[in-house]
Amino acid sequence: MKNLLIGLTSALAVLGPQTIVADDAPVPTQIVDVMNKIYGVHAGFRANHAKGVVVEGSFKASPEAAALSRAVLFAGATIPITVRFSDSGGLPTVPDGSNGASPHGMAIKFHQPGGADTDMVINSLKFFPVANGEEFRDLLQAIADSPADAPKPTKFEQFVAAHPSVPKAFATTSTPDSFADETYYGIDAFVLVNKAGQKQAVRYVMQPEHAVHLPAAAAAKKPADFLVDELPARVAKHAVVFHLKAQLAAATDQTKDPTQPWPADRKLVELGTLTLDKTVPDSLAAQKKLLFLPGQITDGIELSDDPLVAARNAAYAVSFSRRQ
Ligand code: HEM
């Protein structure tokens, strides 16, 4: 955990303490401003999860999915998907095995019949370090205000002391040996609605066929692009398969706080299988045009009272407009 936090802060060693956000800007704009300050602005690249790779394939829902949700993507037809795997952070050249590249991300576009897309944007943290957009801004600002020579305790150390979920969340992830061998978590709660109008709060879990993680020392020795190079090579040889599952909330489980995972014994229901079997000729060009939005959903899937999704939607749109 300490290493991951060092990874986050080491990118900042060159920054001096400074107030860098306009107080009157909306919170999602302030968040992207701080991300741009921490990582620099890299024309054409995302403010966060800047480095990634795109592949394509299909999704086939299970019968259990249709019982939980009337969403078109869960009706059982085979649906084309576009998937982008990514490293954390706003550096397009971050080494894939470095601390700063965790958590790793997976963003999926389900191209539904009729032309509308549903998106899912998930990562390898089991839960989020903070509960809402304001706290995420404050976390990033504390990092930006804590250069290597900052007086102790630094703003970042003070933030962590007041928010124990920060080190706890980062301790839940490490470098996988392949983007294909990682479990990705939806973190935010959504509500599935079936044909009878029955509602069930869920959190998505994307399970690989095998999860494989590297010890930190081995990850650090890997070539800088080992994850983004390996995935298309693997897909070209044979299909990569993931199982999309829904963790079902009990009636008493809260849905508004993404720092609080539900008990591990909550039922996991298989929603369907993702099969990734196509590389794209120019992944860099493809990812620049793509915008994945966690709140881009469809009838049969609703937002919960988790405030993170609205903050994320707005911040992703700001980042997209700046990278166009
Ligand atoms: C307030 C909380 C969050 C904020 C403000 C935020 C912000 C951002 C921004 C600005 C981007 C770049 C978007 C773009 O240019 O297209 C991004 C990308 C991403 N974020 Fe977040 N994020 C948050 C929480 C999360 C959470 C909870 C997850 C996972 C469950 C997540 C996973 C990802 C992934 C996978 C990407 C890359 C998407 C892609 O491939 O296009 N983020 N985030």
State the alpha helices, DSSP H only, in the chain: 2-10, 27-39, 63-68, 133-144, 155-162, 165-170, 216-220, 226-237, 283-289, 308-323
Residue 114 pLDDT class (50, 70, 90 cuts): confident
Taking CA atoms only, the protein residue closest to ligand 1 atom 23 is 312
> Is 316 touching ligand 1 by the criterion CB < 6 Å?
yes
Say what the pTM is: 0.94
* Residue 99: φ, ψ to 5°: -60, -35
| Domain locations along the chain | 2-323
Residues 19-40: what's their mean pLDDT?
A: 87
CATH of domain 2-323: 2.40.180.10
HSE (side-chain half, CA atoms, 13 Å) at 285: 3
Taking CA atoms only, the protein residue closest to ligand 1 atom 29 is 122
Instruction: Work out the burial of residue 251: count CB atoms within 10 Å of its CB; fewer than 13 is exposed, 13-18 middle, 19 or more buried.
Output: exposed
50 closest CA partner among 109, 96, 78, 92: 92
Q: Which has more pLDDT, 114 or 303?
A: 303
Taking CA atoms only, the protein residue closest to ligand 1 atom 5 is 312
At 22 the pLDDT is 58
pLDDT above 70 (res 10): no
Residue 23 CA, ligand 1 centroid: distance in Å: 22
Residues 275-294: what's their mean pLDDT?
A: 97
Residues 272-289: what's their mean pLDDT?
A: 97
What span, in angstroms and rounded, lies between the C-alpha atoms of 204 and 184? Answer: 8
Least confident among 20-34, 68-82, 186-200: 20-34
> Is 278 touching ligand 1 by the criterion CB < 6 Å?
no
* Residue to mutate, 32, 35, 49, ligand 1, most ligand atoms under 8 Å from C-beta: 49
Give 192-227 pLDDT, tens digit per residue: 999 999 999 999 999 999 999 999 999 999 999 999
Give 44-67 pLDDT, tens digit per residue: 999 999 999 999 999 999 999 999
